[in-house]
Structure 1
Amino acid sequence: MKKLTLAVTAMVMMTAPAFAGGDAAKGKAKAAMCAACHGAAGISAIPMYPNLAGQKEAYLAKQLKDFKSGARKDPVMAPMAMPLSDDDIANLSAYFAGLK
């Protein structure tokens, strides 16, 4: 039982950084470039662009990382995501996740 507890504790400690939230205030400052397509409040007026407000933070971060790496292909989003740092992605994800 003690080994299982240690193993679970180690797993939680190793994966905790993956779930660490970003800084929403910094994300808001960075989100100006997103507003043209996704709306100033994360609600798009154009049906082809998804709403970002209220999406789960981990989902948003994964999508941005996938656009950046090329795992998800999109000719508009790829160049937008390429210059983003991991902190930028975390911060943008926290900002949009916190919007209603």
Structure 2
Amino acid sequence: MTKISMTLLTLACALALSACSAGKSDAEAATEATSHASSSAGLPKGDIRAGQELATKGGNGIAPCTSCHGAEGNAPIGDIYPKIGGQYADYIAHALQAYRSGARAGGNADVMAAQAKGLSDQQIADLAAYFHSVPTQLRDLSNVN
């Protein structure tokens, strides 16, 4: 599903929920619905600017994500690092939670676990929001013969 499709689906759900929200304006109900629906990972709403700051500068013992994944998460320094720019926010959030808890293993899990261990839920949500917001260079296999 494309970002546009996901956005339209989210807005459609928000409008449907707003129709059922007694005493709230459409805008209030839509805002509430989209903020709660923003993460299947159970995280707070992410802040793109805070995520960009953390991704590019690091902090609190956390290295910048861009030091391995490259600018906007789309220029990895080596083949072992995936492109994460434009990735679905929920995917990034779930992956970071799994690295933080130790549930995700293999590949660069040790490196990522060390980075994710110090992240708060809000920081994970912020990083997920930021990387989702940048233009993607990801490709799917829908047109591969």
Structure-2-length-normalised TM-score: 0.56
Give how far 1:45 is off: 3.7
Give how far 1:41 is off: 1.6
> What is aligned with 2:68?
37
User: What percent of counterpart residues are identical?
Assistant: 39
Unmatched 5+ stretches in structure 1: 1-8
> What is aligned with 2:5?
none
Give how far 1:69 is off: 0.4
CA displacement, residues 40-62 of structure 1 (integer Å, 9 cap, x when unaligned): 22111411100110100000000
Structure-1-length-normalised TM-score: 0.79
Candidates 81, 103, 106, aligned match of 1:49 = 81
Q: Which amino acid aligns with 2:53?
A: A
Q: Following TM superposition, where does structure 1 have runs of at least 4 consecutive aligned residues deviating by more than 6 angstroms? A: none
- Which structure: greater helix fraction? 1
The structure with higher relative contact order (CA 8 Å, sep 6+) is 1
SS in 1 for 2:127: helix
Larger Rg: 2
RMSD of aligned residue pairs (Cα, Å): 1.8
Q: Which amino acid aligns with 1:85?
A: S
> What is aligned with 2:131?
96
Give how far 1:75 is off: 1.0
